[in-house]
């Protein structure tokens, strides 16, 4: 829970009291003079020999998306805009930096906090170092104090899109049209889904047949080789998704549990999915849900459906101009066979490797920088999904664990849920 700002209230003045005009009536007599002299020494703060100062307290706060508001160990600099004199204080555990004796005037307040990857993981759930800064200018320090200011840190986005759930096993008996992917904005900024691509990577998921062999591209750790690529329509400023927000991408956007074309054994309703992977070809046999908009089919090797292996697909999210990706013939295939599309790892935002079972590691398709491990289900048509584990849960969002290793980032679940939680 975020702590409320302790400075959203007026604090009674507790500093030295200013001198009040002296009543002539009270000036009569030596006793009165002595009294005034003593009182002045004790309580009057504007005697000509001292400079009146004020206490300034700066509350440093993390950006709103962080799990706590108070930012400890921030470097806070208070600089006079008149004399350029500066003083530096480190914020305490409550995120407060106290400047105990500040000469009244006009000040600039700056705050900086470097988060290590480990600290960033603690505060945001995303393991990536970040520089946070705040700047307040032309702030007046006057009166009797303490004077309070709030400096809210801002920084570049940490994290990005992640695949937060993937349902690929299909449901009993042998129904595979209900596959879906949930992708989540796991960052601290609004992200735009326009142009975002979801790709299924070439290669078998394990020793499915005696002749099954790992992908021939396994030694290329700098690219992935896509059998199919789907793209969310629109430009890079379209389809905003707030931090923690998700999109559901369906193979077919119907309520699979109740639709006449569905399967009563399916666990999912995809009638309100955000996007659908409709195979838009002249002889299409795919189902085009009228309630769910279609993604663009950038590449497809075969098939009348946007089916991925029920034994376990390797799925990536990618960005960039697909026209810059090279089409490659699979080694051993005839030159006329449909190619795969080579995507540089620099264009890959996130990826998950699902293989047939725990013994299928030799069949990995994704480079270790995208997914150093793999996940798996207990079998095909088991109506199971793999779901990314929660790293941090705040009042208003979930931040998923993303160490680029699906062996630890994902868990197998029996309740595929497009709009989880
Ligand atoms: Ca549709
Ligand atoms: Ca990742």
Ligand nearest to the CA of 366: 2
Q: Which two tokens stand for residue 135?
A: 């700047």
Give the tens place of pLDDT for each residue, 350-368: 999 999 999 999 999 999 8
Ligand nearest to the CA of 403: 2
Angle at 310 between CA 170 and CA 348, to 5 degrees: 115
Average of pLDDT values for 7-21?
38
What was the pLDDT predicted at 18?
Answer: 41
What's the CA-to-centroid distance between 305 and ligand 1, angstroms? Answer: 13
Centre of ligand 1 from the C-alpha of residue 318, in Å: 22
Mean pLDDT over residues 319-325, rounded? 97
- The length of the chain in residues reads 421
pLDDT digits (tens, 9 = 90+) for 149-184: 999 987 654 679 999 999 999 999 999 999 999 999
Q: How far is the CA of 160 from the centre of ligand 1 (A)?
A: 27
Cα–Cα distance list, 19 to 35, 73, 134, 158 (Å): 14, 38, 37, 53
CA of 184 from ligand 2 middle (Å) equals: 11
Cα gap 269→289, rounded to integer Å? 12
**279 C-alpha to center of ligand 2: Å?**
27
Q: Which ligand is nearest to the CA of 289?
A: 1
Task: Say which ligand is closest to the CA of 249.
Answer: 1
Q: What residues have CB less than 8 Å from 130, skipping those under 6 apart? A: 114, 115, 120, 155, 156, 158
Cα-to-centroid distance, 104 and ligand 2 (Å): 51
Q: Say how many Å lie between the CA of residue 351 and the centre of ligand 2.
A: 6
Mean pLDDT across 312-332: 97
Distance 385 CA to ligand 1 centre (A): 23
Residue 403 CA, ligand 2 centroid: distance in Å: 6
Residues paired with 318 in a beta bridge: 197, 348
Measure the CA–CA gap between 394 and 277, rounded to whole angstroms.
Answer: 32
User: Could you tell me the distance, in angstroms and rounded to a whole number, from the CA of residue 126 to the centre of ligand 1?
Assistant: 34
Looking at residue 421, its pLDDT comes to 92
Residue 253 CA to ligand 1 centre (angstroms): 7
Evaluate whether 153 touches 367 at the Cβ level (below 8 Å): no
Total-model pTM: 0.70
Which residue in 370, 420, 416 sits closest to 400, CA to CA?
Answer: 420
Q: For each of the domains in the chain, give its residue range(s) and CATH number, in order of start.
A: 51-155 (2.60.40.10), 161-413 (no CATH)
pLDDT greater than 80 at residue 270: yes
Q: How far apart are CA 175 and CA 190, in angstroms?
A: 36
Place of tokens 């702590």: 3
Separation of alpha carbons 292 and 289, rounded Å: 6
As a whole number of angstroms, the distance between CA 338 and CA 229 comes to 13
Given a cut of 50, is residue 26 above it in pLDDT? no
- Mean of pLDDT over the chain: 88
């Amino acid at each position: 829970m975020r702590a409320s700002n302790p400075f959203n209230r007026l604090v009674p003045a507790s500093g030295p009291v200013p001198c009040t005009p002296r009543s002539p009536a009270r000036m009569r007599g030596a006793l009165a003079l002595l009294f005034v002299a003593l009182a002045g020494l004790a309580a009057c703060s504007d005697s000509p020999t001292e400079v009146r100062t004020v206490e300034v307290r700066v509350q440093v706060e993390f950006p709103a998306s962080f799990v706590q508001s108070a930012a400890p160990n921030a470097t806070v600099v208070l600089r006079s805009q008149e004399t350029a004199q500066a003083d530096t204080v480190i914020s305490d555990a409550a995120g407060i930096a106290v400047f105990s004796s500040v000469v009244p005037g006009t000040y600039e307040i700056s705050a900086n906090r470097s988060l290590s990857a480990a600290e960033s993981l603690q505060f945001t759930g995303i393991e990536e170092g970040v520089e946070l800064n705040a700047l307040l200018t032309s702030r007046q320090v006057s009166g009797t104090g303490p004077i309070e200011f709030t400096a809210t840190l801002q920084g570049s986005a940490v994290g990005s899109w992640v695949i937060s759930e993937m349902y690929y096993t299909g449901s009993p008996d042998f129904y595979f049209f209900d596959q879906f992917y949930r992708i989540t904005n796991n960052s601290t900024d609004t992200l735009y889904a326009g142009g975002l691509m979801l790709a299924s990577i070439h290669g078998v998921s394990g020793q499915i047949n005696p002749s099954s062999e790992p992908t021939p591209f396994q030694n290329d750790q700098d690219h992935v080789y896509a059998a199919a690529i789907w793209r969310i329509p629109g430009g890079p400023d379209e389809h905003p998704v707030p931090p923690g927000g998700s999109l559901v991408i369906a193979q077919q956007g119907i309520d699979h549990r109740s639709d006449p074309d569905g399967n009563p054994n399916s666990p999912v309703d995809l009638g309100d999915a955000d996007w659908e992977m409709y195979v838009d070809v002249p002889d299409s046999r795919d189902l085009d849900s009228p309630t769910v908009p279609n993604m663009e089919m950038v590449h497809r090797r075969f098939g009348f459906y946007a089916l991925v292996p029920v034994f376990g697909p390797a799925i990536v999210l990618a960005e960039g101009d697909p026209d810059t990706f090279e089409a490659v013939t699979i080694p051993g295939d005839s030159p006329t066979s449909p190619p795969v599309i080579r995507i540089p790892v620099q264009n890959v935002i996130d990826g998950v490797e699902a293989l047939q079972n725990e013994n299928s590691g030799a069949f990995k398709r994704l480079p270790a920088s995208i997914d150093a491990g793999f996940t798996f289900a207990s079998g095909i048509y088991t109506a199971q999904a793999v779901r990314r584990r929660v790293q941090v849960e705040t009042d208003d969002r979930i931040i998923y664990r993303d160490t680029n290793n699906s062996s630890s980032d994902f868990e197998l679940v029996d309740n595929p849920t497009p709009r989880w939680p």
